[in-house]
Amino acid sequence: MAEYKRFEVTNQDDVTVLRLVDAELSDLVLQDAVYDELIALIEADNPQKLLIDFSAVQYCTTGIINSLLTTKKRVVANGGAFKMCGLTKHVHDAFKALNLENTVFEVYATPVEALAAFAG
């Protein structure tokens, strides 16, 4: 598995868990780096079950949300499933305001809940 700077990747059974490591995802260069690494992960590993853990992120912009939309589209196009968890208050409020929570993205409070949803 490749090394990434913007997130940590682990595997929980058959789920690829991607934990974002930056507290603030607002810088354009950082947004581009996250996007590039997400696409590299999808192309290299083709995860069938991908969980994005936001617990370290305090703030993100729509650029990050667009990267997540593209990532989800690629995972689903390859027959996979995409879920998110650990949204902090500000990030959670943004997803709710954009009507993305549990409409476009399946969002769970904790990794444990999200992993259980993959199994169920």
* CATH code, domain carrying 66: 3.30.750.24
Tens digits of residue pLDDT in 63-90? 999 999 999 999 999 999 999 999 999 9
pLDDT at 96 over 80: yes
Instruction: Give the total number of structural domains in the chain.
Output: 1
> What pLDDT, on the 0 to 100 scale, is given for residue 83?
98
Give the predicted TM-score (pTM) of the model.
0.94
Whether 1 has a pLDDT exceeding 60, the answer reads no
Strands (E), the chain: 7-12, 15-20, 24-25, 49-53, 59-60, 81-85, 106-108
* 13-42 mean pLDDT: 94
**Considering the domain boundaries, does residue 1 fall inside one?**
no
Cβ-contact 85, 53 below 8 angstroms: yes
* CA separation for the pair 4, 21 (Å, rounded): 10
In a domain, 120, yes or no: no
Which residue segment(s) compose the domain that 20 sits in?
A: 7-113
